[in-house]
Amino acid sequence: MTGFATLLRKELLEQWRTRRILVVGIVFLVFGIGSPLLARYAPELLKAVGTGMPGATIELPPPTTADAVAQLAKNVGQIGVLVAILLSMGAVAAEKERGTAAFILTLPAGRGAFLLAKLIAIATTLLIGIALAATVDWVYTTILFEALPVPGFVALAVLLWLQMLAFAAITFLVSTVAPSQLVAGGVGFVAFVALAIVAALPVIGDWTPLALSAPAMDLALGKEPTALVQPVVASVVIVVACSGIAWASFRRQEI
Amino acid sequence: MTIAAASAGASAAPVPAIVTRGLGKRFGDVQALEGLDLEVPAGSVFGLLGPNGAGKTTTLRLLLGLAHPSAGGATVAGVDIRSAAATGALGRRIGYLDQSPRFYGWMRGRELIEMAARLHGLRGQVLEARIAEVLELVGIADAAGRRIGGYSGGMRQRLGIGAAVVGRPQVLFLDEPVSSLDPEGRRDVLEIVERLRGTATVILSTHVLTDVERVCDRVAILDRGHLVVASPLEDLIGRYAPPTFRVEIAGDGDDEARTMAAERLAETLRMADGVTDARPAGPAVTVRVADPDAASLRVLSVLAGAGVPIDSMARVRPTLEDVFLDLVGRRIDPDELAAPGSQPRAAGPAWSTGVDPGRRR
């Protein structure tokens, strides 16, 4: 892991200077604020719209805490995953395209350290984002609905982070082996769609990162989670396997 | 100890800095490099010369461990390049500047040098002192706090050299370091290379002949993936540079008539004693001779008897294109020639070609 600390410092500084942390933070803040707000006021908004239309009657169940949490999980499971793909698609491919990978790798920097520093920087940015979202979401949920147990919300944040990390790892792998960042982004998106389809299937659907949303919501609401182990194992395996394959490919790759 | 003073070990070492044996690289059907046998003495400024596509960059990428050889092998500063990519062992011993470095636009110049220095394991006061020393060496101390995205091409080249030398490498690879620079930028970068002489073995890949003459003490010429010649520069000049005269045909603007006269004159001159070659070159004739003192009188005698009006006769050095014509028997695309150094100029230390007879076509 030659040069890991220096490369991690560079990657984190890059996340900051290129305003990726800021943009991701804002996006997730919007999730955190908007999810409970939307859950709380969406029925009233729809009702207000409906009363303006003659003959229209809209009956919605009263909003619950579960709606607020589900809204957050849905947002992260869709837009959050796309953010993870966008963050990862250029991680290695763009450096190869620019020639900066060759510059770094002719310095005393190990290829494993080069990859790991990037993965950790991406994971850190996503972690900051989801931590912001979960914190703000918890505050607004408490104000608009009821106070939920903090450990449950921490578990929600960790599981949703793992979910995004799995797609980041898939995209990162392609960014390492593919000739361009567009290819990496495209494959990451296709993987997202494919896993979304698989996630809809019974039994096997539990073995996908997208199936983390359900147990994450359960834990946030203080319930016993259903099918927690399968998506956690699947996600961890995806992250570890994609990282390992990326390293195995990159260590002998021509730059 | 300054970077310049840190060189003694490298320059005095008897072991070659680079040794290649049968080094080759194939990309699909294209043989980019074949059978390269080369030894680069430690401490030399070594020019790797050739037209675009000759295999210079491929050679550098192989030696840097960024690409893997299809055949043969090499050692750089004692490290086998076959294991370089996997172990990263080369990094502490080499420095590298890409031909068009872009670096990170968001990073400040000083930060790039610091990152390279930290990767070389420098910390604390040593780190600060080395950064200051390098910024001074490459002349960007004033701009060190600015973001690299706002740097000019020349500043990026100088910054890149700074990042490459901050770890005091044994071997420094510079790939076409001046090809995209204006004359001032060229001069600055070449001056830096001059200052690095003796501090490390410098491999300078270029197709600009005057740069090679200015800073290199040894050269290797590649063409179409093959080594044509490798030799100390002075030896090449002594052994292969034929004294050359350029005879301008006089006339009143009728270029066609002057060109035809030049062709007739070249034929006549070719038969003169002491003339090794005479070629028409538009409204002029390039005459190569074995002994310039003796031959000049004979050439003048032939000119006097030829009945062709002469505007001037002057001793010139071969142009870059002349050199490559001799070396590889083909004309170089003008795009391959850098503007500086490609014009004939008055006699001075000549530079010419050392040709493997088997390669002459």
Region B198-218: mean pLDDT is 87
Task: Determine contact: A105 vs chain B, CB below 8 A.
Answer: yes
Q: What is the pLDDT of residues A199-219, one digit of tens each?
A: 999 889 999 999 999 999 999
pLDDT > 80? residue B326: no
Cβ atoms A43, A56 nearer than 8 A: no
Chain A nearest CA to B147, separation (Å): 11
- Residue B156 is part of a domain; what is its CATH number? 3.40.50.300
What residues in A contact B107, CB-CB < 8 Å?
A: 10, 13-14, 17
Are residues B57 and B200 located together in one domain of the fold?
yes
Are residues B232 and B249 located together in one domain of the fold?
no
Taking the C-alpha atoms of residue B158 and residue B186, their distance in angstroms, rounded to an integer, is 10
Taking the C-alpha atoms of residue B335 and residue A226, their distance in angstroms, rounded to an integer, is 68
Region B190-202: mean pLDDT is 88
A116 part of a folded domain = yes
Cβ atoms within 10 Å of B78's Cβ, excluding its own = 15
- Of A246, A254, A208, nearest in space to A227 by CA: A208
Convert A171-189 to b/e letters by CB count within 10 Å (16 or more is b).
bbbbbbbbebbeebbbbbb
pLDDT > 60? residue B355: no
3-state helix, strand, coil in chain B (%, to 5): 40, 25, 35
Could you say which of B183, B216, B238 is where a domain stops?
A: B238
The domain tally of chain B equals 2
Region B63-70: mean pLDDT is 94
Which spans in A58-149 are helix H? 65-75, 81-89, 93-98, 100-105, 111-144
What residues in A contact B92, CB-CB < 8 Å?
A: 108
Q: What is the pLDDT of residues A67-79, one digit of tens each?
A: 999 999 999 999 9
CA distances from residue B11 to B16, B200, B291 in whole angstroms, order as listed: 10, 7, 37
Tell if the pTM clears 0.90, that is, is over it.
no
Please state which of the ranges B6-20, B47-61, B102-116 shows the lowest mean pLDDT: B6-20
Convert B80-92 to b/e letters by CB count within 10 Å (16 or more is b).
ebbebbebbbbbb
Q: What is the mean pLDDT of chain B?
A: 81
Give the model's confidence band at B344: pLDDT under 50 very low, under 70 low, under 90 confident, else very high: very low
Q: What is the DSSP string of A123-174?
A: HHHHHHHHHHHHHHHHHHHHHHT----HHHHHHHHHHHHHHHHHHHHHHHHH
Cβ atoms A64, A145 nearer than 8 A: yes
The kind and range of the H/E element at B240 are helix B233-240
pLDDT > 60? residue B268: yes
Taking the C-alpha atoms of residue A100 and residue A49, their distance in angstroms, rounded to an integer, is 54
Token representation of residue B245? 């005269």
pLDDT computed for residue B104 by the predictor = 95
3-state secondary structure of A35: helix
Which spans in chain B are helix H? 8-12, 56-63, 81-87, 109-119, 124-138, 153-165, 183-196, 209-215, 233-240, 255-270, 292-306, 320-328
B249 bridge partner residues: B310
Are residues B170 and B254 located together in one domain of the fold?
no
The domain tally of chain A equals 1
pLDDT computed for residue A12 by the predictor = 97
pLDDT > 70? residue B336: no
pLDDT computed for residue A48 by the predictor = 76
pLDDT computed for residue B37 by the predictor = 96
pLDDT > 80? residue A59: no
3-state secondary structure of A245: helix
A255 part of a folded domain = no
Are residues B285 and B201 located together in one domain of the fold?
no
Are residues B81 and B209 located together in one domain of the fold?
yes
Q: Which amino acid belongs to residue B298? A: R
- Residue B324 is part of a domain; what is its CATH number? 3.30.70.100
Taking the C-alpha atoms of residue B261 and residue B245, their distance in angstroms, rounded to an integer, is 17
A56 part of a folded domain = yes
Are residues B244 and B173 located together in one domain of the fold?
no
Q: What is the pLDDT of residues B138-147, one digit of tens each?
A: 999 999 999 9
Task: Determine contact: A121 vs chain B, CB below 8 A.
Answer: no
Taking the C-alpha atoms of residue A32 and residue A160, their distance in angstroms, rounded to an integer, is 13
Contact assignment for A103 to B88 by CB distance below 8 Å:
no
Task: Determine contact: A107 vs chain B, CB below 8 A.
Answer: yes
Token representation of residue B326? 């001799």
Region B217-238: mean pLDDT is 85
Region B269-279: mean pLDDT is 88
- Residue B341, by phi and psi: left (phi above 0), alpha (psi -120 to 50) or beta? left
Are residues B217 and B277 located together in one domain of the fold?
no
Task: Determine contact: A19 vs chain B, CB below 8 A.
Answer: no
3-state secondary structure of B203: strand
Q: Which of A110-124, B168-182, B344-358 has the highest mean pLDDT?
A: A110-124
Could you say which of B196, B223, B238 is where a domain stops?
A: B238
pLDDT computed for residue B345 by the predictor = 31
pLDDT computed for residue A51 by the predictor = 65
Task: Determine contact: A111 vs chain B, CB below 8 A.
Answer: yes
Cβ atoms B244, B321 nearer than 8 A: no
Which of the 8 DSSP states describes residue B19? E
> Can you give the residue range of the structural domain that contains B112?
5-238
Read off φ and ψ for residue B67, nearest 5 degrees: -135, 160
pLDDT > 80? residue B32: yes
Among B91, B104, B115, beta carbon nearest to A106? B91
Token representation of residue A3? 């040069």
A80 part of a folded domain = yes
Contact assignment for B121 to A108 by CB distance below 8 Å:
yes
Are residues B132 and B261 located together in one domain of the fold?
no
> Can you give the residue range of the structural domain that contains A195?
4-250
Are residues B153 and B191 located together in one domain of the fold?
yes
3-state secondary structure of B30: strand
Residues in Cβ contact with B271 at an 8 Å cutoff, skipping those fewer than 6 apart:
none
Q: What is the pLDDT of residues B143-192, one digit of tens each?
A: 999 999 999 988 999 999 999 999 999 999 999 888 777 888 888 888 88
Could you say which of B214, B238, B262 is where a domain stops?
A: B238
Region B61-72: mean pLDDT is 94
Contact assignment for A10 to B115 by CB distance below 8 Å:
yes
- Of A252, A1, A104, nearest in space to B96 by CA: A104
Are residues B98 and B246 located together in one domain of the fold?
no
Measured between CA atoms, the residue of chain B closest to residue A104 is B116
ipTM: 0.90
Taking the C-alpha atoms of residue B119 and residue A154, their distance in angstroms, rounded to an integer, is 36
